[in-house]
A and B are shown apart, each in its own frame.
Chain A
Amino acid sequence: MAQPQAKSWNWRPASIWLLYAVGFVPAAWYFYLGATGQIPGNAVKVFEHLLGIWALRFLLATLAVTPLRDLAGFNLIRYRRALGLLAFWYVVMHFLTYMILDQNLNLSEIVKDIAERPFITIGMAALVMLVPLALTSNSWSIRRLGQRWNKLHKLSYVIVLAGATHYAMSVKVVTFEPFIYLVLAFLLVAYRPLRPRIMQWRKERRVSLSEAANR
């Protein structure tokens, strides 16, 4: 049977680049709206909060990859690095917007905020923890670090909890949105210690089902 000689075009790497491109659309679009005076009210705050929310969404998406594969058989593992890096870049943009556009580089105020206001301290800690993860997100580091890479990247659980807490603590009233982000972060992290047991149980069930079918 005749096989095609070579794949003319591999959609997989392209789809990852597409994810990056689409992932930066909210930031780019709102930056454009803000820069052209099309965000009414408090444009800088709107932009700053938008970047923070998207950072949190990408963090949650990154941590959802494993349970989605385990429980729904939906494998997005090849997109996980891109999701994590998008989260990192959104956190960086969120912080730069706060520092430059919001605080006008008033360093004494920024230092005071980070040191004295717990929700900002927590947010800053999340950004600091994201740096080593972003730096070791390349394939060379993954090979080089081996098991230590896995250990290091468990920091993402602390980061997502910190991010969701930072959001909930930043608002005047914890409404549905920050609440739901906290719940999702908690569930995604709580899944990790339960995972071996869940996988074992699913395996046993598969075995007994197939035994029943063979009987």
Chain B
Amino acid sequence: AAPLTTTPGPYATDEAHTSFQDITSYNNFYEFGTGKGDPASRSGDFQPEPWTLEVGGLVGKPKTFDVDALRAFPLEDRIYRMRCVEAWSMVIPWVGFPLAALLDQVEPLGSAKYVAFETVVRPEEMPGQRGLFQPMEWPYVEGLRLDEARHPLTILSVGLYGATLPKQNGAPVRLVVPWKYGFKGIKSIVRITLVEDEPVTSWSRMQPSEYGFYANVNPEVDHPRWSQASETRIGEGGFFNSARRPTLPFNGYAEEVASLYDGLDLRANY
């Protein structure tokens, strides 16, 4: 990982940062396997550079960004809570820039209502994408409403702990939407498309009763198979005092984002 030049960004939290070791060894990135350690141990063949990120669809100026172009955005430290849908959480010092800054460069058309994202497909480099028993359909796809995508909390991350992003965390560029469950944070993005209709997303395609399009962190709406009322902070407490903490609405970012969902039934739109 190469060091990145950053400036302190907004929204920092004074909660203790999860260790680099935990952030880089406990991951869900099924392209490398479904085990938590697989993304770290089985991503050796993956080549995140060179890289191109195509941005197109309903835009005035479609554009392709390489890694240098992505790292040329003014990079900020964004220290966010990350709440996984599996009821664990971390505090992660990301390095990135607002997605809005990138969208501004391609000039979305008035007809664009949603943003669709797509992860790279490289079976030869990603062992989870080859063989029998692949866990899901590739490419991994995600989406946001345009106003969610333009929210200042939403960033594209190119780094972690002041250096370029490790492979297991979604090198070279990934999405971070801190008020949503972690699976919205699509990794190793190759395509961003502005679209008119709500895009298909990987987890809701696979199990629509359990995962919706919005996936906002919500302690009041349980996953059908487990409670979302509390969470385990990775690396905190110990074996005998795994002190669960209560999960906060919108992962503690309600003040910033709750108004995006005025009038929307969050039980129906989970």
Contact = CB atoms under 8 A, between A and B. Distances in A.
Contacts of B235: 41
Interface stretch (A69-77, A78-86, A171-179): A171-179
A172 B136 CA distance: 11
In which size bucket is the chain B interface? 20 to 34
Interface stretch (A111-119, A127-135, A156-164): A111-119
Contacts of B109: none
* Residue from B132, B225, B232, B238 whose CB has the most chain A CB atoms within 10 Å: B225
Interface in B225-248: 225-227, 229, 232, 234-235, 238-240, 242-244
B239 A44 contact: yes
B22 interface: yes
A152 interface: no
A81 B25 CA distance: 40
Interface in B186-234: 206-207, 224-227, 229, 232, 234
A117 B133 contact: no
B21 A40 contact: yes
Contact of B22 (A40, A101, A102, A112): A40
A35 B235 CA distance: 13
B225 A169 contact: yes
Given A102-B242, A104-B244, A117-B225, A41 B26 contact: yes
A40 B239 contact: no
A35 B34 contact: no
B30 A109 contact: no
Contacts, number: 63
A37 B234 contact: no
Contacts of A39: 239
A19 interface: no
Contacts of B224: 117
Nearest to A34: B239
A35 B239 contact: yes
Nearest to B136: A173
B178 to A, nearest CB: 20
Interface in B17-34: 21-22, 25-26, 30, 34
A41 B227 contact: no
Given A42-B234, A175-B135, A35 B227 contact: no
Contacts of B227: 109, 112-113
Contact of B239 (A37, A120, A179): A37
Given A40-B21, A42-B234, A173-B206, 14 more contacts: A34-B239, A40-B22, A40-B25, A40-B26, A42-B26, A42-B88, A43-B239, A45-B232, A101-B239, A104-B243, A113-B227, A117-B224, A173-B135, A179-B133
| Complex A-B, nearest 7 residue pairs according to Cβ-Cβ distance, in ascending order | A41-B26, A34-B239, A173-B135, A176-B133, A44-B242, A175-B34, A35-B239
21 contacts: A35-B239, A37-B238, A37-B239, A39-B239, A40-B21, A41-B26, A42-B88, A42-B234, A43-B238, A44-B239, A101-B240, A102-B242, A104-B243, A109-B229, A112-B227, A117-B226, A170-B225, A173-B136, A175-B133, A175-B135, A179-B133
